[in-house]
A and B are shown apart, each in its own frame.
Chain A
Amino acid sequence: MEKKSNRVLSAIESVCYKFRYLFLILYVALMVIVPFLDIKLVHAQVIILIGVYAMLGMGLNVLIGYTGLVSLGHAGFYAIGAYTCALLETKLGVNFWLALVASGVLTAFIGFLLGLPSLRLSGSYLSIVTLGFCEIVTMILKQWESVTNGNYGVRNIKQPVFFGIKLDMYNGGLIVLMLVLCLIVGVASLAIRNSNAGRAFRAIKDDELAANMMGIHVSRYKIMSFVISAFITGIAGGFYCVTRNYIEPGSFNFDVSILILSVVIIGGLGTIRGMVFGAAILQLFPQVFRFLDEWRYVVYGLLLIVMMRFRPQGLLGWQSTQPYHLSKKTKQILEADGGTSEPLEAAGKTEGGSEQ
């Protein structure tokens, strides 16, 4: 039964792969159309949250899905990104685009610092440190009142302006920005995945010791995946803060970390399609199941349990049957070595990593 469903999914995947440029064009077309659609404020907010969580998912995915390091504190990075952007904008009057980049960079730096203990700690212990990190970040946000305004949070965050056009909820500008950012982050994640570093990440995930033996600089790549993951999460945070009028420390707690983790797990570890799908499901769930009222979080918990029992790879996670993509250079090297690249590609068909 399960095999059959996997075959169907793989068939869909190969169709998607064939028409990937068409989908890209459709996506761009969607960006153009959005401002002309009359989207209600309530819907716009949900759509934007889906985008934010898709980005957060992609950020965490680099860490968990690629490198296999489980972070339970991504809300901490998220908070740093959001606060950096919000504070730069409100206190120093920095323009949004610059502030967005700055929040990514600062968060990446914090990610670097948090990555350092990963050299000494392994497995669950690292997860515990990330968990503690998130708690400490919220504490600092609450305590450092002269800068962050403590428990009251930062208010009156201005909307971004793009060549004189103010992007907000009403003209759909923020949705377009969300789509653009998601596309950039998605393409970047895909590129990272298929790069040298991405392959090193996956080698570490599969077997750290073996990767080390193969000459992969494990500690360097672990820190690198922390930095990349934090950067993406910081960007998502920076974007999140302008979609709200204000942010407060309370909105970046442990539950948020778990929500981001759930996005990654439910969507499908290591995939990018899964992040978008997982974010959509988790954000729509409370809206769609509004009629369940106070029961909906009970149902949510049950869904998580059932899901881990019957489909732990995530709803959209499966072994890809797409041929493993070799770069031209690799092919040349292989041919120069005397062997043809054909058998390798055939082998890739059965093993292969999942694309897209």
Chain B
Amino acid sequence: MSAFVGSVINGIALGMAYALIAVGYSLVFGILRLINFAHGSIYAFGAYMVFLFVTLKLGFLPAIIVSVILSGLLAFLMDKVTLEPLRKKGSDTIAYLITTVGVSFVITNVLSLEAVFGSQRRLFPSTNLFGSIRIGNLTIQSSQIIMFVAALILMLIMTYVVNKTKMGLSMRAVEQNGRAARLVGVNVNRVISFTFFLGGASAAIAGALINGYYQSISPTMGTTIGLKAFAAAVVGGIGVLHGSVVGGLVVGVGECIAAQYLGSNVRDPMAFVILIIILIIKPNGLFGKKGITKV
């Protein structure tokens, strides 16, 4: 029983962090109808930046702040340099998709260059700052609590930004109808840039939180976590913020329970099992809006 509760708690903490990554996918997909495959690598980049600045003795919190800004800028730059020209040209969806795959290749492999960080696993500073709490034979690490609380606060801030600020209003407008938004004077390119920045920044924070819990990083870790977070975004309903949270939690808890009872091989694909079941029942995800095709 305590094993079950343990894995649920573990899943909730991880799930909140997944939600942070999922938001990046969700926002970008909502606006551009694009699966941003580079997002996972930006998550890895964020984690490596934290690692770098912590080893440079900058302190944990300042390291996270610098990493957040850098990752946000990287996501922003990626959009400006690689995706915006495609938008101007009016390329096919598949061109965007392959471009993001290309970007992810570049980021991941630059990180794993010997001269940069090397391809081997590295020890990541632990976020287990206050030891752990024991309830019966259940252990909750403070890194899990930190992960949960930090992610929750960030999600609230994000919800505020999207729902209450002017930029958030523009974002929602572009999501509903890009052309109409442009006609009423929304600077669409700026909105897209901001969305990428926001996604990159939140991925970096998730990178610090998740890897602070696992205490190890490798350049290729972004792919798996990225795909899982994407599954979470789709499960919750893409383009919906609270959907990302619910999706993240469902995926997080699901994979922890699966890993507990079915073995570690099942851990990563569990997200997709959940995803496929949900998509077959509700093709737009749990909270997704139904799209209508107009001719």
Contact = CB atoms under 8 A, between A and B. Distances in A.
Interface residues of A, number: 44
Interface string B274-285: 011001100110
B144 interface: no
B104 interface: yes
B110 A305 contact: no
A348 interface: no
A64 interface: yes
Contact of B268 (A127, A135, A301, A308): A135
Of the four ranges (under 10, 10 to 19, 20 to 34, 35 or more), the interface on chain B belongs to 35 or more
Interface string A105-142: 00000000000010011011101110111011011001
A298 B109 CA distance: 6
A94 interface: no
Contacts of A254: 223, 227
Given A131-B272, A132-B231, A139 B265 contact: yes
Contacts of A305: 82, 99, 102-103, 106
B94 A124 contact: no
Contact of A143 (B103, B230, B265, B276): B265
A301 B276 contact: no
Contacts of B35: 124, 127-128
B82 A129 contact: no
A298 B92 CA distance: 24
Contacts of B93: 70, 123-124
Interface string A299-312: 01111110111001
Interface string B91-107: 11111111101111110
B109 A312 contact: no
B262 to A, nearest CB: 8
B103 A64 contact: no
Interface string B214-254: 00000000010001001100100000000000000000000
Contacts of B101: 258, 261-262, 301, 304
B269 interface: yes
B283 A128 contact: no
B105 A128 contact: no
Nearest to A312: B95
B62 interface: no
A326 interface: no
Interface of B: 29, 33-35, 82, 85-86, 91-99, 101-106, 108-110, 112-114, 119, 223, 227, 230-231, 234, 262-263, 265-266, 268-269, 271-273, 275-276, 279-280, 283-284, 293, 295
Interface of A: 64, 70, 117, 120-121, 123-125, 127-129, 131-133, 135-136, 138-139, 142-143, 150-151, 209, 254-255, 258, 261-262, 265, 269, 294-295, 297-298, 300-305, 307-309, 312
| 4 closest residue pairs by CB, A with B | A301-B105, A132-B272, A304-B102, A139-B269
Given A132-B269, A136-B272, A304-B105, 15 more contacts: A120-B279, A121-B283, A124-B34, A132-B273, A135-B269, A136-B276, A265-B98, A294-B112, A294-B119, A298-B106, A298-B113, A300-B102, A301-B109, A304-B99, A309-B86
